Amino acid sequence: MIRKLLVALAALAASACSYGSMVDIAPMNLRISKPVVAAGDYCAAKGLEAPFYVISSEDCAPVLWQADTLTYLMVDPEDAKDSLQAAVVSLGSNLYAAQIETPEEKDRYQIHLIIAKGNAFTLLSALADEPLKKLAAKHAKLTFTNDASGRPYIATGSVGSIRAFLREAAIESLREMKKKDEMFSVGVLDKSGEPDHPGSEQQAKDIEAVMKIAEALTPH
What pTM does this model have? Answer: 0.89
Mean pLDDT of residues grouped by 10 in the chain (220 residues)?
Answer: 41 58 96 96 90 91 93 76 86 96 77 96 93 97 93 96 97 91 87 95 97 89
CA distances (Å), origin 39, targets 68, 71, 191, 211: 15, 11, 11, 21
Task: List the chain domain ranges.
Answer: 2-217
Query: CB-based contacts of 47: which residues, under 8 Å, 6+ apart?
Result: 53
